[in-house]
Structures are given as structure tokens and as C-alpha cells.
A and B are shown apart, each in its own frame.
Chain A
């Protein structure tokens, strides 16, 4: 005879399992379909015709697509590095100093996170044309406008993550280092940065994935010679949805998921460590 269902035995209740199933279908059915049809042996990509890896090969041979992917990676890399530096400095500034309207400043930093992307995109377009940002620079400087736009919405994420981590910083650690003879710079380098590192890594990963798959803002700031991967996929879709588009999208999904998983895992590990240290 089965044991009776306890009050907290949620996983053994039928309706809980059903809800879970529905949620997962709802969330992942479109993505699963996308991935499955990337292996479809059909040009039209409406009916399943058979398994093939052809379209992955075709995607890899598509020079425009590869160039767009290289552009995306380059932009993501620069945007991430700049975002980490800016975000960390903003977080330290907000944590360390008292100044007038600090709360307002703190809110303003998080604003790009909530501003609609389309507005940010239009704003960037208007801004770059108003200042007359040069468009025909050699690679990789032709990507500077997109990179700047990406930094402007990525670094707040880094700032928020690092700021949250600094909340748990024991100021006596910095004072102890100072007491032992460290200058302010040495305190920052030897005590603050090691403490912030998990936040910097997690924030950086977040910035990297955000930059890599951003479409809306990039669309408004990219020119004919500066196409990124999502923008390229969009232009391919406008002709026809071939399995090549599916294959390209699948690759992007895999890259993003891996990066996000790594970021979450690092944050989790830092949490475990902090707990162990607190004991």
C-alpha cells in the first residue's frame, strides 16, 4: 500500500504534476520545435521531411552569417569588459561614499534596465546621428557605436549585481588592510576586488549574453557594414524561414544558455563559500 500523501509532498499530487507539465510545454515547446526543425531536410521548413545536418554546414559556410557572428562576439567582448569596469566603479561609488541625491543616483543607474528597449534604440539612433558619429571606420572601430549602445544598457546590470554583493562586505576587512599598512589602492586591489570577484564574473556573464543576443537596440545602431548575428538572422527570416535560420538560432541559444548557466553556477558557488565563511 502506498504511503499517504503528506502535507508537503507536493511532487506526489497529480494537479501539481500537471501544472508543471503545462508550464514546461508552454515555455519550451516553441524552442524545442525550433531546434528540432533545424535538422529538417526541407527547404520550406513546414513539414518534417527527414533528419539532416546540412543546414548547420550551410550556416557555417555562409560568410555573411559568420561575419555577423564575429561582429557579435567582438561587440559582446568589448561591451562586457567596459561594462564590468564602469559597473564596478559605479557600485563602489554608491556603496563607499555619501553624497547629495545618492538615492536618486542609485535609481538613475538602474533606469536603463527598465526603459523600453525600443525607446533606447530610437534614442541611440538619434544620439549618434546628432553627434555625427563616424560610420566608415575600419574594423573593429566601425562597431564602436553598437558597443557604446550595448555598454549603456549592460553596465547597470553589473552595477546592480556588484552593489548587492558589496552590501555583505565587512568594512573591518578594508580597515584591517589599511591598519596593516596598505594604501587605499592596495586595499582596493587586495581586499575589495577579491571580494567583488563573484559579482564581477556573474555581472560580466550577464552583460555578455545580453549584448550577444540584443536585437532591438542593435537594429537601430547598426549600418550595412556592421551587421550582428541577431540582425542577420532577422534579415534572413525576411526572405524565407529555412532550416538554416533555425540552425543559426540554435547555435545562439546554446551559446547563451551555456554562458547563463556558468554565471548562475558561479554565483551559487560564491554563495556557498560565503555561507561556509560565515559559519
Chain B
């Protein structure tokens, strides 16, 4: 019974964690739990504190405040060499004066594992990352992708409770990066170790992670699975950072269970969204609308009493698979983006510059955000 309860327990529990460097707060009272066996991503723009947070998990930085528990044990002040986690560094940090096998064996050697076992486990780890037979090579004889695999094997060979990865794909070229995404996910599934990855690339996080924590200026904005993050962002920052979005500023007119009504200067009719927003009437809010969820037509929609606005096409961006129409709905309002998939390659684009168009959306398509 106790064993079962242990397995239900999160592998990492972070509570009130802060890191300050003098007047600068890099990480600002973060609370986070990461589940056992999860592929977890810390996503945010550069300087948002995600790397500092990861380094505090590794023990390479010690927190100013708060606690880090790994597998139930408080390790907040435990140095890196005595934590049951291992890290893949952004520069890979493969030791240049050691062979590939020596690199992978290093962590076991300093732990005093018997020599035969060291060799056997190091070779297994190299097999795992598809570098079997490369053991005798020097790091300067390897490509960037191979060096990364060495770094992975070197970290995994110690059988850590959590594997930390700091921007692991940023140094690879585009094709290899896409391939490595799949390989990392497969690797994580096969070894069953919890992965925590830091990235600034939303595509990377969305395609690999089970759950994502979006960070900005030292704080976690939202933690959710990829689809929830995209469809139900909780702040304008998250809505804007993940994918493309139209943010329309407005005022709450009515907030009933399951339905919010807004008025927005940019939109002449009331906006109704099906959402349990529970926002105070009269407060400022934003409507977040994904460009692919807005309908665009030359005729006004059947229900012209709500959720619609007219405008003129001002710019068109051709992206191959889709086209983005930027529609001017008023002289002082930002352009509204509408994406249409280019399904048919014969019929040209349905609208052109200067066309008068009507935009509309259903009450289930947008999200109302208070901040």
C-alpha cells in the first residue's frame, strides 16, 4: 500500500521558490509539481527565469527562498553532486579530453561503481542513444548531434530520478531538430524517467511535452497540457506566446454562469462568449480569438446581432499551407488576423486587398481574459 502511495506522489514539488541576484528577481515565488514519468516543459521568452529554475532543480543554483522536493526529500540546499537528477547542458559540455566511453563512464566512476559494471552500463547507455561502437572516439571527431547523444547517455547512465534538459535542440539545424524531438519523446517513453526540458520554442514544447509551464518575468503564468494551453489560455501573455492570437480589449457588461457579455470599442455589436469567467461587471478584459477560428465572408452573417464586425482587407500574408488576412476594423484598432487554409490550389484567394469583409465567430471560439 505504501509503495502505491509513493508512486502517486509527484516526483518534484516546488513551493514558494525564489531566486534573487541583488535587486534582480530571476525566479519569483514559483509553485510547481511535476508528476512521475512526465515529459514536462518550462516554456518562456529568454530572461523569464526558466533556466534559473532548472538550475535550482539541478542544484547548480541554490534558492533564495522556498523549497525543492525531489521524490519526497527536501533537497533545497543539497549541492548538485548529491542530487538524484542529471542534466543535459545547452553546450552539451562533453569533456573534450576524454573519449566518448570515458565521458559516459565518468559519473559512475566518481560514484565508485566497480569497473566492470561501469564499462557494461556505459556501453548500454551508448547503445540506448544509438552510439554503440563510438566509445573509442574523441568528442572532436563527432558531429553536434552525436555530441548531444553523448551528453544524453552520460546523464542517463546514472539512472537519475529526473533528467533535466536545457534548450537541448537549440544548437541543431532545423531538420535534425525535428527528428530529435521524436527521438527524445521515444527515449523518454522507453526509459520511463521524468524529463524536464527548458525551451523558448513553443513548437518544441507543444509537440513534445505532456504538460507545459509557461513562464514570464520569473513567474509561472499557467501550467497545463499543450491543447489546454492553446485553447484555454488564462492570461493574455500565454495566449500571445503560444501560437497567434487577436487580443481585443473590452469591458465586461454581464457575467452569468457559463456566459460572459462584453462590449469592445473595436466591435459595434455585443460580444458573447460561453465561459465561466466570473469577472466583475464593468472591469476591463480582453477577448482572445485565434485567427483560424474567425469566419470571414463578403456577406454579413445570419446572426448580425452579436460576435461580428466588418472591415477591409489591408494586408495578405501567404504562408503556403494557409493565408493570413489582416483586416482593418476601425482607424484606431489593431488589425484583426484571420487565417484561411489553402485547400484548393486552383481557385485563387477568395478576397483581395481593399475588399469589404464581415468577420464573425461563435460563442465557443474565444476566451475572455482578465489580465
Binding site for B on A (CB under 8 A): 170, 172-173, 175-183, 186, 190-191, 194-195, 273, 276-277, 279
Answer whether residue B89 sits at the interface, using C-beta atoms and an 8 A cutoff: yes
Minimum CB distance partner of B83 in chain A: A179
Given contacts A175-B93, A176-B93, 11 further A-B contacts (CB under 8 A): A170-B91, A178-B81, A179-B58, A179-B86, A180-B106, A183-B81, A190-B110, A194-B97, A195-B96, A276-B140, A279-B140
Interface centre among A177, A181, A191, A194 (most CB of B within 10 A): A181
Given contacts A183-B81, A277-B140, contact A176 B158 (CB under 8 A): no
Whole-angstrom distance between the Cβ of B121 and the nearest chain A Cβ: 13
Task: Decide: B81 and A172 in contact? CB cutoff 8 A.
Answer: no
Nearest 8 CB-CB pairs, A to B?
A180-B107, A176-B93, A172-B93, A194-B97, A277-B140, A172-B89, A276-B140, A178-B80
Answer whether residue B273 sits at the interface, using C-beta atoms and an 8 A cutoff: no
CA distance A178 to B97 in the complex (A): 17
- Majority secondary structure, B binding face: mixed
- CB contacts between A and B, total, < 8 Å: 70
Answer whether residue B227 sits at the interface, using C-beta atoms and an 8 A cutoff: no
Task: Decide: B79 and A178 in contact? CB cutoff 8 A.
Answer: yes
Question: Could you list some 12 contacts between A and B, CB below 8 A?
Answer: A170-B91, A173-B95, A178-B81, A179-B58, A179-B81, A179-B155, A180-B86, A181-B107, A183-B110, A186-B110, A194-B95, A276-B140
Task: Decide: A191 and B107 in contact? CB cutoff 8 A.
Answer: no
Q: Mark B129-140, 1 if CB is under 8 A from A, else 0.
A: 000000000011
Minimum CB distance partner of A276 in chain B: B140
Answer whether residue B245 sits at the interface, using C-beta atoms and an 8 A cutoff: no
Answer whether residue B60 sits at the interface, using C-beta atoms and an 8 A cutoff: yes
Task: Decide: B89 and A181 in contact? CB cutoff 8 A.
Answer: no
Given contacts A170-B91, A176-B93, A277-B96, contact A182 B140 (CB under 8 A): no
- Majority secondary structure, A binding face: helix
Answer whether residue B198 sits at the interface, using C-beta atoms and an 8 A cutoff: no
Minimum CB distance partner of A180 in chain B: B107
Task: Decide: A176 and B89 in contact? CB cutoff 8 A.
Answer: yes
Question: Which residues, 130 to 155 on B, are CB-close (under 8 Å) to A?
Answer: 139-140, 151, 154-155
Cβ contact of B106, chosen from A177, A183, A279, cutoff 8 A: A177
Q: Which residues of B contact A172 (CB under 8 A)?
A: 89-91, 93
Cβ contact of B158, chosen from A173, A175, A181, A186, cutoff 8 A: A181
Cβ contact of A178, chosen from B60, B96, B139, B151, cutoff 8 A: B60
Answer whether residue B111 sits at the interface, using C-beta atoms and an 8 A cutoff: yes
Task: Decide: B81 and A176 in contact? CB cutoff 8 A.
Answer: no
Answer whether residue B260 sits at the interface, using C-beta atoms and an 8 A cutoff: no
Q: Which residues of B contact A179 (CB under 8 A)?
A: 58-60, 80-81, 85-87, 155
Minimum CB distance partner of B89 in chain A: A172
Given contacts A179-B87, A181-B107, contact A173 B93 (CB under 8 A): yes
